[in-house]
Amino acid sequence: MSVIDTTRPPSEPARQKWDTRPKLLIDGDHDLCPGCGEPIALRCMLEVIDEMGLSQSAIGAVGIGCYTALTSLLDTDMVQCLHGRAPSVATGIKRMRPQSLVYTMQGDGDMVNEGLQEIIHSAARGESITCLLLNNGVFGETGGHMTATTVIGQRTKNTLEGRDAAYHGHPISMTDLLTPLGGVGYVARSTVTTARDIQRTRRYFRKAFETQVAGKGLSFVEVLTMCPTGWFLPVQEGPSYLNETMSPVFRIGEFKVDGQIFTPGA
Amino acid sequence: MSREFVEGAEALARAAIDAGCRFFAGYPMTPFTEVLDHMAEKLPAAGGVCINAESELEAVGMAWGALATGARAATGSVGQGLSLMQESFSEITRAELPLVVFNMARGQSDYFQSTRGGGHGDYYHIILCPIDIHEAIDHVHLAFDLADHWRNPVQIYGDYLLGHTWESVDLSPRPSAPLPPKHWALDGSLNGTGRARNINSLGMTKGAKGIDPESFWNRLQGKFRRIQSAEARIETEFTEDALYIAAAFGTAAKFVRHVVREMRREGYRIGYVRPITLWPFPADAFKQAARGVREVGVFELNGGQMIEDVRLSLLGDAPAVSIGGISSDTSGFGVGSLLNTARIREILERNYARVAARRAA
Ligand SMILES: Cc1ncc(C[n+]2csc(CCOP(=O)(O)OP(=O)(O)O)c2C)c(N)n1
Ligand code: SF4
Ligand SMILES: [Mg+2]
């Protein structure tokens, strides 16, 4: 392990916060909770768009959830969509501006509950858009209610004793639904619990956007995000809770690349 | 001017394309299906996109996205499909996007749905209600222009009769005025400047934290008031010395107008009024036209909807009496037995006689 030498001044001057800020992020406060995973995932995406030199062509379609509050800092042209309806709006944008890089940002409540048919149909149609799912297994915004991705046993505001399969049904895995569809080019799932996971998330975003630029079908990146508030946990327990309860159900990795189906870890 | 014999649905689609519509999405339902068919066939050849959406919910969402890029875009359906679209309609209106909606209604039962906004929130759509295909072609051009001018959705209220009647009309290309500049349209050019655009229904702007719903709401209401004073349109005939006025809207008005003209030729002091815009309702002009009349008969094929607007226009100057009623064919498409000039003649004569007798007494 390398030890930082503090006896001499650093070879590079300290960088200011805004020197490391992605160009597409406005410098300012956001209204999300401490320990929330959503801002990290959004930042990853914006950094990648920047790095790929696509900043001037990105247009977003954003759903309704906690991440909606991030749009005041999100410096790409965008449409604030209705709950669940972003993929159709993104379709209209992309069909009229095929040269733009069109992305959607939705939560699990937005995409998997309210608007499930939208993402499935857009995927089957092979719309050349990149869809981001911020999956925290709850409606964070309404105060931590069960969604269609809440895992069995998970406690939420309306499953106080934990989600019971016999009573509340089973969670839906979006990667399972989307991977087999012909119109889909890229499917991956990551998390933002550690620096390594964040790097992987950035890698997946890059591949997703490359898929869009190459016109190889819809690209989908799901990011499991911490929601300590909605999970009723102390902030610092968010990442370990995610790794212990969600990751075993929602496998991390790439499921489809360039239209080829993979089994992560196989 | 060159005339050709065309069915209404085709005329609507061709007029839309001529008016610069480059995006259309819809979900089949008679009698809207026929408009969608023609768009699917003709729009790609004009360089546009027509998507056969998987649902009305998605059709209106796609149109929303297309509008956000500055394109002229439209969708449509029948009352049922429009009910599904209402959540988006109200948000699109609040986001001030120039949507054009083809409402190919199953008859006249959806007057309230169209004129009262229909969805949540406090909003209106401009409703153009053509009497025939000739006027519908004008209305399609007008709809796209008004939508862009006011940045507000405009609906064409048509029906089965309009979609399926053949008429000899002029569909030759019209000179198009240049589209108004759309500084708000999304193209990515402002990304990273701190001023990227955010098309939303809350009055949010980049860089400004939070929202001010009250002032945004007030600004929209101001716009609706300006539309009300600028865009109300009406058709009237023989109202100056009329004793009795028959009012009707849409294709049903064509039957009523025919009968009123016939009765006038025979010496009846009967007049005719048709609101061309259902919203804004031409209230002032209606009140003006009805000055001195003893009664206004409202012929509409429903349980009595437009009659509320007629009463609000007359403000008690004359009684408004419902003389239409529920009338449907077995398919439910709204072409019922009351759409018959002989029956309308009988209704108008009976009511006229009653009012004339009251006057003499
Ligand atoms: C039609 C409609 N129904 C309900 C709501 C209320 N609502 C707002 S956000 C939300 C849940 C958001 O959940 P998710 O997408 O998972 O985002 P998160 O808050 O977890 O980030 C709900 C139900 C709404 N805005 N619109
Ligand atoms: S409630 Fe959850 S998802 Fe919402 S901001 Fe807080 S931590 Fe994030
Ligand atoms: Mg969520």
Q: How far apart are CA B244 and CA B268, in angstroms?
A: 9
* Token reading at B36: 């969608």
Location of structure tokens 């100057």: B317
Contact A52, A119 (CB under 8 A): no
Residue from B291, B286, B264 nearest B274 by CA:
B286
- Please state the φ and ψ torsions of residue B156, each to the nearest 5 degrees: -95, 120
* Token reading at B48: 């546009």
Task: Please determine, for residue B274, whether its predicted confidence score (pLDDT) is greater than 70.
Answer: yes
Q: Identity (one letter) of the amino acid at B276? A: I
Q: How would residue B207 be classed by pLDDT, with cut points 50, 70 and 90?
A: low
Nearest-neighbour CA in chain B from A73: distance (Å): 7
Task: Please determine, for residue B208, whether its predicted confidence score (pLDDT) is greater than 80.
Answer: no
- Please state the φ and ψ torsions of residue B256, each to the nearest 5 degrees: -65, -45
Low-confidence ranges of chain A (pLDDT < 70): 1, 266
Per-residue pLDDT, averaged over B330-346, amounts to 93
Q: How far is CA B3 from CA A90, A228, B162, B222, in A?
A: 40, 69, 18, 42
pLDDT at position A14:
83
Nearest-neighbour CA in chain A from B152: distance (Å): 17
* Token reading at A37: 């995973």
pLDDT at position A11:
82
**Cβ-proximal residues to A71 (8 Å cutoff; 6+ apart), any chain:** A62, A78, A80, B198, B204
Q: How far apart are CA A19 and CA B132, in angstroms?
A: 64
Q: How far apart are CA B56 and CA A266, in angstroms?
A: 41
Per-residue pLDDT, averaged over B15-32, amounts to 97
Contact B293, B250 (CB under 8 A): no
The mean of the pLDDT values for chain B is 95
pLDDT at position B227:
98
pLDDT at position B118:
85
SS3 assignment, position B11: helix
Residue A1 lies in a domain: no
Radius of gyration of chain B (CA): 21
Give chain A's largest Cα–Cα span: 64
Task: Please determine, for residue B206, whether its predicted confidence score (pLDDT) is greater than 90.
Answer: no
Per-residue pLDDT, averaged over B173-196, amounts to 91
Strand partners, B323: none
Interface test with B, best of A59, A74, A83, A209 (most B CBs within 10 A): A59
The class level of CATH for B3-170 reads alpha beta
Residue from A107, A86, A130, A103 nearest A36 by CA:
A107
Residue A89 lies in a domain: yes
**Which of A202-211, B19-28, B238-247, B326-335 has the weakest average pLDDT?**
B326-335
pLDDT at position A174:
98
The residues whose Cβ lies within 5 A of ligand 3, an ion, are A 107-109, 136, 140
Considering the segment(s) B235-360 as one domain, its CATH architecture is 3-Layer(aba) Sandwich (3.40)
Task: Please determine, for residue B33, whether its predicted confidence score (pLDDT) is greater than 70.
Answer: yes
Q: Which helix (H) or strand (E) holds B298?
A: strand B295-298
pLDDT at position A152:
98
Separation of CA B12 from chain center: 13
pLDDT at position B203:
85
Instruction: Count CB neighbours of A20 within 10 A.
Output: 8
Separation of CA B280 from chain center: 10
Number of domains in chain A: 1
Q: How far apart are CA A64 and CA A66, in angstroms?
A: 7
In chain A, residues with a C-beta closer than 8 Å to the C-beta of B198 are: 71, 77-80
Q: Which helix (H) or strand (E) holds A106?
A: strand A101-107
Tell whether A41 is within 8 A of chain B (Cβ).
Answer: no
* Token reading at B150: 């006011």
Residue A144 lies in a domain: yes
pTM here is 0.96
Percent of chain B past pLDDT 70, that is, above it, reads 98
Residue from B104, B100, B98, B110 nearest B133 by CA:
B104
Render pLDDT for B305-323 as a digit per residue (tens, 0 to 9): 999 999 999 999 999 999 9
In chain A, residues with a C-beta closer than 8 Å to the C-beta of B54 are: 117, 121
* Closest residue CA from atom 26 of ligand 1: A83
Q: Which helix (H) or strand (E) holds A75?
A: none
Task: Please determine, for residue B268, whether its predicted confidence score (pLDDT) is greater than 80.
Answer: yes
pLDDT at position B209:
67
pLDDT at position A1:
63
Q: What is the CATH number of the domain that holds A234?
A: 3.40.50.970
Cα(B282) to ligand 3 centroid in Å equals 48
pLDDT at position B204:
83
Contact between A55 and B192 using a beta-carbon 8 Å cutoff: yes
Contact between A92 and B208 using a beta-carbon 8 Å cutoff: no
In chain B, residues with a C-beta closer than 8 Å to the C-beta of A106 are: none
Facing B188 at nearest CB: one of A76, A81, A89: A76
- Please state the φ and ψ torsions of residue A47, each to the nearest 5 degrees: -60, -45
Per-residue pLDDT, averaged over B170-199, amounts to 92
Residues of chain B within CATH 3.40.50.920 domain(s) are: 235-360
Q: How far apart are CA B53 and CA B72, in angstroms?
A: 18
Residues of chain B within CATH 3.40.50.970 domain(s) are: 3-170
**Which structural domain range is residue A181 located in?**
38-258
Contact B104, B130 (CB under 8 A): no
Strand partners, B296: B245, B320
